[in-house]
Amino acid sequence: MSSLAGIVSRFAIEGEVVSVDPLGSGLINDTYKVTTAGDSPDYVLQRINNAIFKDVALLQGNIGAVTAHIRKKLEAAGEDDIDRKVLRFISLKDSELTYLEDEGKFWRVSVFIPDAYTYDTVNPEYSYCAGKAFGNFEAMLADLPDKLGETIPDFHNMELRLSQLIEAVEEDAAGRIDGCPEDGPVNELPDDPDHGEAVLDMLEDIDAYGVEMCRAEQMHRDGLLPKRICHCDTKVNNMMFDRDGNILCVIDLDTVMPSFVFSDYGDFLRTAACTAPEDEPDTSKIHFDMEIFKAFTRGYLESAGCFLTDAEKENLPYAACMFPFMQAVRFLTDYINGDTYYKTKYIDHNFVRARAQMTLFHDALAHVEEMSEFIAGL
């Protein structure tokens, strides 16, 4: 088996590798920091999860087009420190490709951005900056000449996510529905002995909102909602800040593809406006934070307001609800399938995540009117 340092040595990096250590907390790819000796830059090594990103060539092609386009814009705007504001991927030593296939695994290397920080929680001031940054990111990509492929087809299609849940329930591949509650819980949550029942309750709860949460697909069919190039994984920890809290860049570009703007807006709030981690077991700690919502929305509309349609703006509160809902559906689907998609740390992790997301969904839903009033007043 190739060593990590051996993998790195196939890329045209500068300097001598000193160490390769795990980095970050992504749920899909494996990420490492590559430290080099002396003044050479450090690097980020990633194993691309090709069970999920099935077309790595397309994926790296998208990322190449996006980063080159952003770099050009930053240069034209006379920005300084550009290498900290857009990712740079390294080619192989013996080819132009920016990924390596080795023993059926796919790898890539980018330059590590020094003195940059990611956060799992942010205050309103940072949220405002993040809103501006994601709006800017979409604005910069609005005139991208290359046509991007969908790295995961229909990634944020709510109708598809619900049908995947239904399929999972019908198959019940891991026996996490059948056998419960009659045979007792399959797995025991420390605080929830009636677990099997809890899964069924959650399915019922999801079913009650399914049609309403598929509004985006309906609007798209009615010609009311365009697809634009979006980031599609705007978790708060996918944004890099400098030491003073200024935004440097957005990272984790695997899912940059055409989608509804609700994706970026909704997924940021799902993580940043939640008062607890996305897998919080104690649901009493989970609330939708309106101060974060307001700050982020103000920032986002300052940079994206110029290209968004009225229908898009009016439906931002829906997006704030739809994303926790969609994530609950995705986590629950994976739970029922037997945890084949997301990395998990304990047996019921995906169920706990789904429950946290449904709790957040309900609290966001209770704030829809307040959100709409705020947006109308901006």
- Site residues (vs Mg ion, CB under 5 A): 26, 238, 252
Query: Which C-beta is closer to ligand GN1: that of 255 or that of 303?
Result: 255
Rg (CA), the chain: 21
**Which residues, numbered 269-308, are part of the site for ligand GN1 (CB under 6 A)?**
278
Cβ–Cβ < 8 Å for 292, 121: no
Q: How far is CA 282 from CA 38, 212, 334, 356, in A?
A: 46, 27, 21, 8
Query: Which C-beta is closer to Mg ion: that of 234 or that of 333?
Result: 234
> Which listed option, Mg ion, ligand GN1, none, makes contact with residue 334 (CB within 5 to 8 Å by class)?
none
CA 185 to chain centre: 31
Question: b/e for 206-242, b at 16 or more Cβ within 10 A?
Answer: beebbeebbbbbebeeeeebeebbbbbbbbbbbbbbb
Whole-number Å distance between alpha carbons of 308 and 47: 36
Binding mask 189-228 for ligand GN1 (x = CB under 6 A): ----------------------------------------
Cα torsion 269, 272, 274, 280: sign: positive
Half-sphere exposure of 375 (CA within 13 A, CB side): 24
Length of the chain: 378
Cβ–Cβ < 8 Å for 268, 320: no
Nearest residue to Mg ion, scored by beta-carbon proximity: 252
Whole-number Å distance between alpha carbons of 295 and 237: 17
Whole-number minimum distance, CB 63 to ligand GN1, in Å? 13
> Which listed option, Mg ion, ligand GN1, none, makes contact with residue 348 (CB within 5 to 8 Å by class)?
none
Q: Tell me which stretch binds ligand GN1 (CB under 6 A): 20-28, 178-186, 199-207, 282-290.
A: 20-28
User: Does residue number 28 form part of the binding site for ligand GN1 (CB under 6 A)?
Assistant: yes
DSSP 42: P
**Which residues, numbered 308-327, are part of the site for ligand GN1 (CB under 6 A)?**
327
Whole-number minimum distance, CB 162 to Mg ion, in Å? 24
Whole-number minimum distance, CB 235 to Mg ion, in Å? 6
Query: Which C-beta is closer to ligand GN1: that of 26 or that of 299?
Result: 26
> Tokens in use for 80?
């300084």
Binding mask 234-253 for ligand GN1 (x = CB under 6 A): -x--x-------------x-
DSSP 349: H
User: At 240, which helix (H) or strand (E)?
Assistant: strand 239-241
How many residues in the shown chain lie near ligand GN1 by CB under 6 A? 11
User: Does residue number 27 form part of the binding site for ligand GN1 (CB under 6 A)?
Assistant: yes
User: At 44, which helix (H) or strand (E)?
Assistant: strand 43-48
Whole-number minimum distance, CB 66 to Mg ion, in Å? 16
CB atoms under 10 Å from CB of 172, counted, come to: 15
Q: Tell me which stretch binds ligand GN1 (CB under 6 A): 81-89, 216-224, 230-238, 370-378.
A: 230-238
Whole-number minimum distance, CB 198 to Mg ion, in Å? 28
> Which listed option, ligand GN1, Mg ion, none, makes contact with residue 279 (CB within 5 to 8 Å by class)?
none
Query: Which C-beta is closer to ligand GN1: that of 150 or that of 302?
Result: 150
Residues interacting with ligand GN1, by CB under 6 A? 26-28, 52, 233, 235, 238, 252, 255, 278, 327
